[in-house]
Structure formats: structure tokens, C-alpha cells
Amino acid sequence: MDSVDPVTGVISNTITLSGQFSFDPDNWLSGSGDLGIRSYQWSLISKPAGCLDVPLPPGEVVTIFTAGNGLPWSLEIRPGRHRR
């Protein structure tokens, strides 16, 4: 991830999750014209050992980290750096 300063851990870009292209296949197959998703609940399904959960609010688009802030050192999303 080139948007994280390797020394300070400060991010230069806001990091978000978006479910805007998610849909319920049953609704798509029935041709209802409705995506079928009205409630989004984000969760981490896999994370490195020792990393803490990041609380994620519900919503179609969720901001995880805002540009200009440092990442918690408990997270390991910087390439080439492994904390043990």
C-alpha cells in the first residue's frame, strides 16, 4: 500500500469500503429491479494473529481510515513490514 508512510504510518488517502455494486442474486434473477440489499454489516473474516478488530459501522460506504491520520500499530496493512 503506497499511501502509507513507512516511517510515520500516516496515510495519504482515505481508505473506504464500498458495497455499491453488491446485490442479492435472487433479486437479480427474478428481474425485480431491486438489488435486495438494504442493510450492510461489515466484518473482518481474516486477519493476522495479534491484530485487533476494527469496529466498522453499517452502511453502503464505510470509511475505515481518514487521510492524514496514523494507522494503529496493531494493524498490519503496510507492505514489507511484519510485526511479531
- Residue 21 reports pLDDT greater than 60: yes
pTM over 0.85: no
Single-letter code of the amino acid located at 7: V
- Residue 66 reports pLDDT greater than 60: yes
CA distances from 50 to 54, 72, 75 (A): 12, 12, 9
Closest CA to 50 of 77, 72, 75: 75
| Contact between residue 3 and residue 70 where contact means Cβ atoms under 8 Å apart | no
Spatial separation of the C-alpha atoms in residues 8 and 12, rounded to whole Å: 11
| Contact between residue 36 and residue 23 where contact means Cβ atoms under 8 Å apart | yes
Mean pLDDT, residues 38-43 taken together: 80
